[in-house]
């Protein structure tokens, strides 16, 4: 596999440099092999925080996935997410241009003295909601800690958030060094992060803020050992008024295995509120929208990225290849206009134009590396459909197929025949689901002609 970037030394960014039109003013962090972060002035005079990923050469097969994840992060809108202004590339490395980070962090508020539980849950409730929104759209924060929570007034904001789904060198990392005191066991074991990993880190943050001490004490090695081996802490042993109910919440949120933790950040929040006797605002207490996070559907608070629609409706019908007698709720919350189904049909046609030769390439691949590359390009094609789809149902199906092809590529890269066979079954199932939904969408367009 050949790299696409020059040597790390040639990619150094300093004050006064111009990164794709952004004039660098301040270097905030420049960590080897991970990222460069700084403040810059944009082409229109706007102040931004610039996050440039990867100081090392990058395998070309990683690029489609990274671009896809960057577009998804840029599209997310939430009161607790620092907005993204632009996504681009500089000297072969991707970057995010974001609104200026607030200078203060949650770390500035934490200390040796505990904070009132009501204040902690009120501050972290929007963060939990933002995490569930991101999880529903396939993103997992790669370095959730007190320093990745920027603070302005009485509000907390997640920073660059992270672009997950593979080796950590494929991700934008959070500002500052990722601190082991909130680190989930699976990360220490070298396993990929998942939504449950963020739930673990959130629980650790709850413990630190409410008790005034981190879950495990001592030097980094001792804390890492605690996360890996020792039972979750029991806060009531040091602060009796907290009660055993909160101990149970901590034990649930800091379970060693991801599958044993709460299903979402919102669920963890509600468990903590019930245990501590804190009343949450209705939007956080009701769990509205949390089912979307559990089942991986596309949340409604996503800013659609417009894209070209250039393929004829007939090609979309050829992609579907099935006859459907009934329309399967084609709007599913999208705006009820004739333009929606028409645009989706054209986008499906464009997908077919890419999908057919790529599937042939995948079938004819002779090495795992070729299989992984073809699967990554297929995932990118489905990701573009998800970006432009008017129907949330179609977008959700496209994202599910995108993830299935990503898993197929990962299985190919790992060289596991068993994993590849299972991933192939997932691809077949998600392709069939997308075809069924696409058929209904095309039928609706036919009826409106």
CA dihedral of residues 294, 298, 299, 305 (deg, nearest 10):
150
Decide: helix, strand or coil at residue 118. helix
Cα 279 to Cα 273: distance, rounded to the nearest angstrom = 7
> Which residue range forms the structural domain that includes residue 153?
104-295
Q: Are residues 81 and 176 in the same domain?
A: no
pLDDT of residue 337: 36
Is 69 or 297 the better-scoring residue by pLDDT? 69
* Range with the poorest average pLDDT among 37-46, 202-211, 328-337, 391-400: 328-337
Of 115, 81, 82, 120, the C-alpha closest to 99 is 82
Buried b (16+ CB within 10 A) or exposed e, 343-367: bbbbbbbbbbebbeebeebbeebee
Average pLDDT of the residues in 404-432: 83
The reply to whether 165 and 18 lie within a common domain is no
Give the model's pLDDT for residue 1: 21
* Structure tokens that stand for 238 in this block: 């040091």
When pLDDT is averaged across residues 61-88 and rounded to a whole number, the result is 79
Query: What is the four-CA torsion angle of 304, 402, 409, 188, rounded to 10 degrees?
Result: 70
Count the Cβ atoms, other than its own, within 10 Å of residue 239: 14
- Kindly state whether residues 219 and 274 are assigned to the same domain: yes
Do 148 and 286 lie in one domain? The reply is yes
Residues 109 and 95 in one domain: no
Beta-bridge partner residues of 87: 96
| Residue 106 pLDDT | 93
pLDDT at residue 120 is higher than 90 = yes
Segment 8-25 shows an average pLDDT of 79
Which one is predicted more confidently, 230 or 174? 230
- pLDDT at 161 exceeding the cut of 80: no
**Do 436 and 346 lie in a common domain?**
yes
- Which of 83, 99, 115 finishes a domain? 99
**Residue 408 and residue 371 share a domain:** yes
Residue 375, in any domain of the structure: yes
pLDDT at 287: 61
Q: Are residues 377 and 258 in the same domain?
A: no
Secondary structure of residue 97 in the 3-state scheme: strand
* CA 139 – CA 72 distance, rounded (Å): 8
Question: What residues contact residue 257 under an 8 Å CB cut-off, 6+ apart?
Answer: none
In a domain, 246, yes or no: yes
Pair 150, 311: CB distance under 8 Å: no
Co-location of 135 and 281 in the same domain: yes
Q: Single out the residue in 59, 81, 99 at which a domain terminates.
A: 99
- pLDDT higher than threshold 50 for residue 131: yes
Q: Are 330 and 429 in the same domain?
A: yes
Write the CATH number for 113. Answer: 1.10.510.10
Residue that is last in its domain, among 99, 133, 158: 99
Token pair 């070309």 is found at: 60
pLDDT at 175 over 70: no
Q: Could you give the percent of the chain with pLDDT greater than 90?
A: 27
Q: Categorize the per-residue pLDDT at 284 as very low, low, confident or very high, splitting at 50, 70 and 90.
A: confident
pLDDT of residue 218 exceeding 70, the answer is: yes
For residues 95 and 112, state if they share a domain.
no
Predicted TM-score (pTM) above 0.75: no
Average pLDDT over residues 257-275: 96
Question: How confident is the model at residue 340, as a pLDDT?
Answer: 55
175 shares a domain with 29: no
């Amino acid at each position: 596999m050949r790299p696409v970037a020059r040597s790390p030394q040639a990619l150094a960014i300093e004050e006064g440099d111009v990164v794709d039109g952004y004039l660098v003013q301040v270097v905030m962090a420049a960590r080897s092999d991970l990222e460069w972060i700084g403040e810059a002035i944009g082409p229109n005079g706007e102040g931004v925080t610039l996050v440039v990923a990867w100081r090392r050469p990058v395998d070309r097969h990683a690029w489609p996935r990274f671009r896809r994840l960057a577009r998804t992060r840029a599209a997310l809108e939430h009161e607790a997410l620092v907005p993204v202004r632009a996504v681009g590339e500089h000297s072969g490395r991707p970057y995010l241009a974001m609104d200026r980070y607030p200078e203060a962090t949650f770390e500035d508020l934490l200390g040796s003295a505990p904070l009132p539980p009501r204040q902690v849950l009120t501050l972290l409730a929007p963060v939990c909601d933002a995490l569930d929104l991101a999880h529903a759209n396939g993103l997992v924060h790669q370095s959730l800690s007190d320093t990745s929570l920027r603070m302005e007034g009485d509000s907390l904001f997640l920073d660059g958030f992270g672009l997950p789904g593979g080796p950590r060198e494929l991700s934008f990392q959070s500002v500052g060094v990722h601190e082991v005191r909130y680190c989930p066991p699976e990360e220490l074991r070298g396993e990929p992060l998942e939504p449950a990993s963020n739930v673990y880190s959130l629980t650790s943050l709850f413990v630190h803020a409410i008790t005034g001490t981190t879950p495990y004490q001592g030097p980094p090695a001792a804390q890492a050992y605690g996360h890996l081996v020792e039972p979750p802490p029991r806060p009531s042993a040091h602060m009796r008024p907290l009660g055993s109910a909160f101990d149970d919440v901590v034990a649930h949120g800091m379970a060693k295995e991801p599958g044993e933790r709460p299903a979402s950040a919102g669920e963890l929040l509600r468990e903590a509120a019930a245990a501590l006797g804190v009343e949450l605002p209705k939007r956080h207490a009701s769990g509205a929208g949390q089912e979307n996070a559990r089942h991986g559907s596309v949340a409604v608070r996503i800013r659609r990225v417009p894209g070209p629609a250039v393929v004829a409706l007939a090609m979309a019908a050829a992609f579907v290849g099935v006859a459907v007698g009934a329309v399967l709720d084609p709007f599913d919350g999208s705006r009820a206009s004739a333009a929606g189904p028409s645009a989706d049909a054209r986008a499906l046609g464009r997908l077919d134009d890419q999908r057919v030769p790529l599937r042939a390439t995948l079938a004819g691949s002779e090495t795992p590396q070729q299989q992984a590359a073809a699967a990554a390009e297929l995932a990118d094609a489905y990701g573009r459909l998800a970006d432009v789809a008017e129907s949330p149902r179609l977008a959700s199906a496209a994202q599910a197929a995108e993830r299935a092809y990503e898993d197929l590529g990962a299985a190919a890269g790992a060289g596991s025949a068993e994993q590849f066979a299972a991933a192939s079954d997932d691809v077949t199932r998600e392709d069939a689901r997308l075809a069924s939904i696409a058929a209904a969408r095309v039928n609706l367009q036919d009826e409106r002609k």
